[in-house]
Amino acid sequence: MKVNEKQSWAVSPSDVVYHFGTSGLSVAAATAVTHPLDVLKVRLQMQLVGQKGPLTGMGRLFLQTFKKEGPRFLYLGLAPALTRSVLYGGLRLGLYEPSKYACNWAFGSTNIFAKIASAGFGGAIATALTNPVEVLKVRLQMNPHFSKGGPTGELRRMISEEGVKALWKGVGPAMARAATLTASQLATYDETKRILITLTSLEEGFNLHLISSTVAGMVSTLITAPVDMIKTRLMLQKESKRMGSYKNGFHCAYQVMLTEGPKGLYKGSLATFARLGPQTTITFILCEKLRELAGLNAI
C-alpha cells in the first residue's frame, strides 16, 4: 500500500472485518494444505533429544510413521491448527497495515525498518494471545494416543496435570519466532514487491505475488528454523523423558548446541522449508485475491 493511500486508511466496521477476515482465511487455507508437513516437522525436531547421531530423513520418517500409525497421523492436531490459523493468522497479517500506518504517522516513513518493526509487532502480539492453541496442537501432533480424547480432552488433561501456566509453555521463543517469521515474511514480501514494480514491468497480479511470496518463503525459513525448533522443544518438555528441563529459550539453545551440536538447531529444517515455502506462497496469493474481492488495497 502506498504512503498516500495509507493516509486515507478506512476504519469502518466492515473494512475491519474484511481486513482481518481475509488474513485469517488465507492462513487457514494454507495451513490445511501444508499441515502434514507441519506434523513431520515436529517429529523431526524431536529426534535424538539430548544426543548426537545420524538423523532419520523426512522421507524415511514419513514411511516409518505411516506404517506404524496410518495415514491419519498426517492430520493430528488439525482442529487446533485451523483454529489457531484463523486467530493467529488474522492478527499477525491484519496488524501489519495498521502498524505501518502508525509508523508513517509517527515517523513519516514506511522504509524497510518500519516494515520489519510493524510485522514483528503483529507476529509477537498474535502469538502471545494464541499460544495455548499452539501448545495443544504440537502435543496432539507428537502423541497420537492423545487424539482419542480429542483437543478438548487433551486441554483438560494439561490443565489438571500441569496447571494453566502449561498453556503458555514456550511463549517466549514462540513470540520471538512469530516476530521473526512475520517480519521476514511480510517485510520481505512487501519490499520485494516494491523493488519488482520499480525495476521491472511487473504490476499487481498473480506473477508479482508468486515471485514475491516465493522469495519471502525462502528468507523466512532460513531465519526462523532454529527458533522454531527451540519453541517445539519447550512446548513438549513434559512429553520427552530424555529432554530434561529447559529453563528458557536461551538455555534450550545452549543445551541443544552442547549435546546435539550446531546442526541440532536445524533439525526438521527441510520439513520447515517444505511447509513454510508453499504456505507462504498460498497465504499471500490467496490473501491478495481475497483483499481484491473485498475491495481492499493490496498489501
- Rounded to whole angstroms, the Cα distance separating 252 from 250 reads 5
Quote the cell numbers at residue 9.
Answer: 486508511
Q: Give the per-residue pLDDT at 244.
A: 58
Better-scored residue on pLDDT, 104 or 213:
213
- Which tens digits make up the pLDDT trace of 43-69? 887 887 777 777 788 888 899 889 988
Which SS3 state, helix, strand or coil, does residue 11 take? Answer: coil
Q: Give the per-residue pLDDT at 144.
A: 67
Quote the cell numbers at residue 174.
Answer: 514462540
CA distances (Å), origin 47, targets 26, 57, 61, 103, 252: 31, 10, 10, 43, 15
- Which tens digits make up the pLDDT trace of 199-247? 999 999 999 999 999 999 989 988 888 888 888 888 777 655 555 578 8
- Residue type for 1, please? M
Contact 94, 287 (CB under 8 A): no
- Rounded to whole angstroms, the Cα distance separating 52 from 66 reads 25
Q: Give the per-residue pLDDT at 206.
A: 94
Q: Give the per-residue pLDDT at 247.
A: 81
- Rounded to whole angstroms, the Cα distance separating 251 from 249 reads 5
- Which tens digits make up the pLDDT trace of 242-298? 555 788 888 888 888 888 888 888 887 777 788 888 999 999 999 999 999 998 888
> What confidence tier does 2 reach under pLDDT thresholds 50, 70, 90?
very low
Quote the cell numbers at residue 6.
Answer: 495509507
Q: What is the residue whose three cell numbers read 488474513?
A: 23
Lowest mean pLDDT among 4-8, 108-112, 131-135, 160-164: 4-8
Contact 129, 121 (CB under 8 A): no
Give the count of beta carbons closer than 10 Å to the beta carbon of residue 246: 20
Q: Give the per-residue pLDDT at 214.
A: 93
Contact 64, 44 (CB under 8 A): no
Q: What is the residue whose three cell numbers read 513438549?
A: 236
pTM here?
0.76
**pLDDT of 127 strictly over 50:** yes
